[in-house]
Amino acid sequence: MNRDEISFKIKEEAYRLGFEACGFARAKRLEKEERRLETWLSEDRHGSMAWMANHFDKRVDPRKLVPGAKTVISLFCSYHQPELVKQQEKSKNPKISKYAMGEDYHFVLKDKLYQLFEFCRELIGNIEGRVFVDSAPVLDKAWAAESGIGWIGKNSNLLNRTYGSWFFIGEIILDAELSYDSPTTDHCGSCTRCIDACPTDAIYEPYKVDGSKCISYFTIELRDEIPSQFHEQLSPWIYGCDICQDVCPWNTKAKTGKEERLFPKYDFVSKDIDYWEELNLQEYRELFRKSAVKRAKFDGLKRNIEAVKPYLKKQQKESK
């Protein structure tokens, strides 16, 4: 088989495994992203996420991660449930980011990626490579854009015309050459809805996000107390934030995801502030046993609940 035939069969298998998109990019140093990352770090936009400055060379050059790397395969898997969007939109209860309501995406995508990697080995022969899902120094959105499966929007999320941004990205880095795809064009146009809607002004310029002011940072990554001046803006989010995605026009027409493991495991939307206030450690462990919410830890989640509690209690009282 020639390179085009091999590439076609890999994409065909990716779709069979449940990925909605698959694209190939030549492994190289991402010089433009290197400059952007250097500036972002020098301006302290990463807050307390010191790990973002680690392994800088590996972040911008996949050949440092996989010796002899020639191809970065980028894929995504949608978790979008339109009914969940509508339910959460109407609810006045505490909110958890929709991506975290199902099984931990790290496990779901890695299962699929390892299967695809083995398929590549059987198809091509003696090759080496690694799979990645948001847990190594890989600029996943940049590589996805390089591979043509989407463009990076003004809120810094990867956007796709069919699936919006409601998806998880994974990569396979191989030491084999494939037929490479071309980047797509930007379809954000003059829209600024994500910028206008961000309550903490974390999107300080189009395509630039101050991670240290993002609600997702406060409720997930930050280990210290959340600055009191941001408590009201946090409400009603107790884990993550979907505001800039909820208002994006591309997400209002996004296709529904098919992977059932990513569907919500429980009815989180109907749980009011009283429920979350009384949540104990045992209940937390049962609710989030296989969930990405574990990243915030029990104490972090309770801290978030305490931060938004006064505003939700007030709202609850006024609605009676």
Q: Which residue has the tokens 């301006």?
A: 43
For residue 164, the 8-state DSSP code is: B
User: Do the Cβ atoms of 153 and 159 come closer than 8 Å?
Assistant: yes
Residue 4 designated active-site: no
For residue 288, the 8-state DSSP code is: T
Helices (H), the chain: 3-16, 31-42, 56-60, 82-90, 105-124, 140-146, 193-197, 215-216, 231-234, 243-246, 249-252, 273-278, 281-287, 297-318
Give the bridge partners for 25, in sequence order.
Answer: 72
**With b meaning 16 or more CB within 10 Å and e meaning fewer, what string describes 27-58?**
beebeebbebbeebeeeebbbeeeebeeeeee
For residue 210, the 8-state DSSP code is: -
Count Cβ atoms below 10 Å from residue 26 Cβ, excluding itself. 14
User: Do the Cβ atoms of 120 and 149 come closer than 8 Å?
Assistant: no
Selecting among 57, 104, 134, 196, the annotated active-site residue is: 134
Residues tagged active-site: 134
